Amino acid sequence: MNIGFIGLGNMGGPMAANLAAAGHSVTSFDVAGTTANGVSAAASAVEAATGADIVITMLPNGAILRSVANEVIPVMDANAVLLDCSTVDVESTRAVAEQCAAANVLAMDAPVSGGVGGASGGTLTFMVGGSDEAFAKASPLFEIMGQKAVHCGPSGNGQAAKICNNMILGATMIATCESFALADKLGLDRQKMFDVVSTSSGYSWSMNAYCPAPGVGPTTPADNNYEPGFAADLMLKDLRLAQEAAIGANADTPMGALAQALYAQFVEDEDGSGKDFSAMLPKFEKSDRP
């Protein structure tokens, strides 16, 4: 396929390189001038999108997505696919999908899970919203860039799945960190706690696969001074998106709201910016009950 790829950051760069390595013709544009192996650089987003079968975007937020969509949709061919892999607000995603429909362009939102390692290794999970026709066209690319793609329904549902998933993740990581801090103060060895919880009803991905306690369980960012695998700043972004969606849908999400408030405090008022989202554990280690 002829692929236009817009946004070659930490995630987009390796994704574009994997597509090129698989034999696709990839033309890219990034405002910072970033390039990727095997990928041709374009002078603008419009140039990257012109003549492409699929245009893939990996962008920071909904406002930038809308801006890029305004540029590229008018030059895209009928029945070409605009595949947005960013994590943005549901409202922006659905607005861009309506814009695509008016221009006979197929729209898909496909935010990812798996981080930079998954992007490099081609093992991402895609949560996909859009039509059956668009999903069928993009499926061969999902197989190159990831290990799983779940078609969640119409446009916007991919973003909905991503923010619901990460609201669970944020809340469970906080609970996991709190529990380790409590175990410390009760004199319970961390390894013993892990041995019990990881095989009991407290089991969770945050405990078993991404344990926030250094030296316990599998190797995680906690064993590398909390250098980010998934940054606390990005968790805060996703929790805010979840709360925006909850307000718009009139959904009661008190745990999600509290998780957002705690990550906001951690990132903006404490020392959490630039650290992994599991670095909540040292935060709770140092704090006492108010």
Beta carbons of 109 and 84 less than 8 angstroms apart: yes
Q: Angle at Cα 257 formed by Cα 203 and Cα 260, nearest 5°?
A: 80
* Per annotation, catalytic residue among 162, 237, 275, 283: 162
Nearest partner of 259 among 177, 153, 186, judged by Cα: 177
Q: Are strands 25-29 and 40-41 parallel, antiparallel or unpaired?
A: parallel
Beta carbons of 59 and 68 less than 8 angstroms apart: yes
Kind plus residue range of the DSSP H or E element containing 152: strand 146-153
Task: Say whether 275 is catalytic.
Answer: no
Give me the count of residues in the chain: 290
Report the sign of the C-alpha dihedral through residues 215, 258, 115, 122, in that order: positive
Catalytic residue numbers, as ranges: 162
